Amino acid sequence: MDAVDVIRTKRDGGALSNAQIDWVIDAYTRGAVADEQMAALAMAIFLRGMTRTEISRWTAAMIASGERMDFTHLGATADKHSTGGVGDKITLPLVPLVAAHGVRVPQLSGRGLGHTGGTLDKLESIRGWRADVTPEAMLTQLRDVGGVICAAGAGLAPADKKLYALRDITSTVESIPLIASSIMSKKIAEGSGALVLDVKTGSGAFMQTEADARALARTMVDLGNDAGLATVALLTDMETPLGLTVGNALEVRESVEVLAGGGPTDVVELTVALAREMLTLAGRGDIDPADALADGRAMDVWRRMISAQGGDPDAPLPTSSHTEVITAPRGGYIVAMPARPIAIAAWRLGAGRARKEDPVDLAAGVEIHRKPGDRVTAGEPVLTLHTTDPAKFGRALEALTEAVAYGSESVPISSTRVIDRIA
């Protein structure tokens, strides 16, 4: 095989053969194909696309570049993946909720970068909690507690890790074949028996148009099913922030409220909807997961999960030393609150990072008091900004200049975050 021939095939609009895909992924992982050559191939894929057969083989080759986990001896298992959003803390209440019904949940999560939040960053708001768990400790926790949220080991799909870093600096991130194979190679390698995808669309989503989000969801569901992994996707709305908080400790607090039987309606709705899909794929479709939020079983699993990873579930969460309140300039109704400006403000306050090695301010973020459809009076608090560095308020406020739109009449608001189910 020759890298130039593989690049030329895709550059000219041809379909890569199984042998070409297997060779180029293996050779790139070993360093036999240079970054410049893989960058050229990634751009050719970005411009020319891939067939379903190509994407499936590309995904399989990335899985084959590393280890595969196996949890079949634990009984029914289910996993969830979200394409990321603003205020998306769903993993935190979802994992203990599903585990409370006897389905093991091995949830490998990541950190935030840019305006998108990271599940591990959120959980590190809890005193003592550790993201790094050995494979042996992970198996023990899954067996004894039922759920684990932790960092993925370096052995899973190393080709994807190397290729993703390259895509990030060559403007080829937005390719649906490359996004889908990146996500699904890791999820299939994780070894769960079922997977539910939360594919978001709207101003705060990676895929801002519904058509793109739907295409990504369809591609990932097909990849999962082709690999023998029972997979379903929910297409969900990310036009406005999810819940009433954006920021690490703020979102943990809200997640605990959900586990205690309260919390914002949209967070509860989406948590229960995803739990229902996970339980159904795992053969427990006759269960109403909402019951475990009401009777405290999910909270019990949460506390055991946190404790098992060194955390203190009773420890106070970090709080900001400085706040700035944004009030309604006039009376009326909130008619729009796009998620992206809120996310950028939270990032600028310190809740996110610009580079992977940057620290985060666990107490920073944005608290939302009123959302679209709500009536407000002049001077009423709408948003509260939190940070430990007051010098960051200026740039955060710049991001929020047109983040909230007001009108004299209310606007219709959908009663659900779920747009469609793709199976």
CA R_g for the chain: 22
What is the residue type of 190? E
The verdict on whether 160 is a catalytic residue reads yes
- 65, 82, 175, 182: the catalytic one is 182
Phi and psi at 69, nearest 5°, equal -90, 160
- Give the span between the Cα atoms of 23 and 158, in whole angstroms: 15
Q: What number of residues does the chain have?
A: 423
What are the residues whose beta carbons fall under 8 Å from the beta carbon of 88, sequence distance 6 or more?
Answer: 82, 117, 198, 200, 238, 242
Among this protein's residues, is 81 annotated catalytic? yes
Q: Do the beta carbons of residue 178 and residue 38 sit within 8 Å?
A: no
Q: What is the three-state SS of 82-122?
A: ECCCCCCCCHHHHHHHHHCCCCEEEEEECCCECCECCHHHH
Which of 10, 57, 81, 115 is catalytic? The answer is 81
Residue among 80, 167, 371, 386 flagged as catalytic? 167
| Catalytic residue status for 182 | yes
DSSP state of 390: G
Q: Are 180 and 213 in contact (CB under 8 A)?
A: no
Please give the Cα distance from 81 to 248 (Å, whole number).
Answer: 19
Sequence-ordered list of residues with C-beta below 8 angstroms from that of 141, at least 6 positions apart, any chain = 133, 147, 148, 305, 308, 309
3-state secondary structure of 420: strand
Please, are residues 405 and 334 in contact by the beta-carbon 8 Å criterion? yes
The answer to whether 230 and 240 have CB atoms below 8 angstroms apart is no
- Residue 233 is inside which H or E element, if any? strand 230-237
Active site residue 214: no
Place of tokens 């919390």: 263
Phi and psi, residue 104, nearest 5°: -75, 140
Enumerate the β-bridge partners of residue 199: 235
* Active-site option among 80, 104, 111, 186: 186
- Are 156 and 190 in contact by the 8 Å Cβ rule? The answer is yes
* Choice among 121, 160, 226, 237 that is catalytic: 160
* CA atoms of 220 and 213, how far apart (whole Å): 11
Going along 110-191, which residue ranges are E strands?
Answer: 147-151
**Catalytic residue numbers, as ranges:** 81, 160, 167, 182, 186
